[in-house]
Chain A
Amino acid sequence: MLSKSETDYSSADLTAFFELMKPRVMRLVIFTTVVGMVASQEFIHPVIAIASVIFIGLGAGAAGALNMWWDSDIDFMMARTDKRPIPSGKVKPEDALYFGLFLSVLSVMMLGLIANFLAAFILGFTIWFYIFIYSIWLKRRTPQNIVIGGAAGAFPPVIGWVATSGNIGLESILMFLLIFIWTPPHFWALSLFSHSDYHRANVPMLNVTYGKPHTRLQILLYTLALTIISVGISFSSLGGIFYFISALILNGYLIYLAVRVYFQNEQLSIGLNMKYEKKLFLFSISYLFVLFGMILLEALMDRFQIASVNFQLIDIFFR
């Protein structure tokens, strides 16, 4: 006969542990890492590249599991997070902690051995930053939580770049900035329609502490800053004509949505069932995917020297 704890443990199937790793975040991390690797234009053996991506992805999963362990006390209060493995009782908090710690050590150590120690150091720093700076220190203390904490999500393309090239280039910093400035408007749009969740859990999101009108203004300002960076990348070696055209279209629509969100008031947005806030949140995900997809495309065209369609915008505008 099995004891109660044993039966509980056996029901914690592997899918629950997979969910602990925040698979959707991991997908974005893996994608931006691959873009960072290809954009560096350094050739490494495919086996080394695949192994590096796997361990960078596992590092992101480790950070996700540790974050879920730390936030398990507030996750059950929010509709958005109460189905997560710990609040739903599928995984014990201490199991999530050990799982996260094990994966952190494994991923950093293996990336160091497979790629290089600078990449491993940045991966370790990213996990540390996400847990200690974002989750433990900032998230429950300041409305700037997302702004500073967003750096953790911005590191993967830098890690990918460093894993292949061994150094931190200007272009990897541009990719970092793109995600870093993208994060606040993306999460603030989410917080506008999950307002009561954050309020109940006592998380000082900007809309909880400074109100929704101020949040709408900040979304617009960050969107404009994001436009400068993302269009600006067109003129670096990451960009090209396809990236440039995509950036113009995507930023045009993003600004349109941010302006619509800015001019909403409480009654109007509730009447529309938060239509524009939800649109902005969902569109911002596609926005980042497409822009990084274009960086990937431009890098591949450079690598395979598709000269007829590949030319640098900098040559057209500034030479």
Chain B
Amino acid sequence: MKNNDLEISKRRSSTNIVLGLILAFFVMLIFSVTVVKLSNGDKMQAYDHVLRPEMLTDE
């Protein structure tokens, strides 16, 4: 019976390691997408009521 428990806990720990790696990959993926989206973002007039002269287009 003890061997059986040991086997199950071994399997669980390897499953947990793989799941941990998948989650870490997911976090890295979302982080990289966020960085790319922010660095590729167009110039935006933020909602801070401050005029940005560089965004004014010539009439």
Residues of B within 8 A of A14 (CB): 15, 18-19
Are A47 and B36 CB-contacts (below 8 A) given A13-B15, A14-B15, A54-B29?
Answer: yes
**How long is the Cα–Cα vector from A13 to B18 in the complex, in angstroms?**
10
A11 an interface residue at 8 Å Cβ cutoff?
yes
Chain B min CB distance to A308 (Å): 34
Residues of A within 8 A of B11 (CB): 10-11, 13
**How long is the Cα–Cα vector from A1 to B1 in the complex, in angstroms?**
9
What string of 1s and 0s marks CB contacts (under 8 Å) between B2-43 and chain A? 001100100110010011000000000100110111001000
Are A2 and B15 CB-contacts (below 8 A) given A48-B36, A114-B33?
Answer: no
Among A7, A14, A47, chain B packs the most CB atoms within 10 A around the CB of A47
**How long is the Cα–Cα vector from A45 to B18 in the complex, in angstroms?**
28
Closest to A45 in B: B36
**How long is the Cα–Cα vector from A2 to B12 in the complex, in angstroms?**
13
Residues of B within 8 A of A45 (CB): 36, 40
What string of 1s and 0s marks CB contacts (under 8 Å) between A1-32 and chain B? 11000010011011000000000000000000
**How long is the Cα–Cα vector from A314 to B33 in the complex, in angstroms?**
39
Q: Which of A28-71 contact B (CB under 8 A)?
A: 45, 47-48, 51, 54
The size of the chain B interface, using a CB distance under 8 A, is: 16
Residues of A within 8 A of B32 (CB): 47, 51
Residues of A within 8 A of B1 (CB): 1
Q: Which of A90-126 contact B (CB under 8 A)?
A: 114
Residues of B within 8 A of A54 (CB): 29
Closest to B14 in A: A13
Chain B min CB distance to A313 (Å): 36
Residues of A within 8 A of B12 (CB): 10
**How long is the Cα–Cα vector from A2 to B29 in the complex, in angstroms?**
36
Chain A min CB distance to B30 (Å): 8
Asked if B19 and A2 sit within 8 Å, CB to CB, the answer is: no
Closest to A46 in B: B36
Chain B min CB distance to A307 (Å): 30
Asked if B33 and A2 sit within 8 Å, CB to CB, the answer is: no
**How long is the Cα–Cα vector from A264 to B5 in the complex, in angstroms?**
57
- Beyond A45-B40, A47-B36, A51-B32, 12 additional contacts (C-beta under 8 Å) are A1-B1, A1-B5, A7-B8, A10-B8, A10-B11, A10-B15, A11-B8, A13-B11, A13-B15, A47-B33, A48-B36, A48-B37
Query: B-side interface residues toward A, CB under 8 Å?
Result: 1, 4-5, 8, 11-12, 15, 18-19, 29, 32-33, 35-37, 40
Instruction: List the 6 closest pairs (A to B, CB-CB), nearest first.
Output: A47-B36, A45-B36, A47-B32, A10-B8, A51-B33, A14-B18
Between-chain CB contacts (< 8 Å), 23 pairs: A1-B1, A1-B5, A2-B5, A2-B8, A7-B4, A10-B11, A10-B15, A11-B8, A11-B11, A13-B11, A13-B15, A14-B15, A14-B18, A45-B40, A47-B33, A47-B35, A47-B36, A48-B33, A48-B36, A48-B37, A51-B29, A51-B33, A54-B29
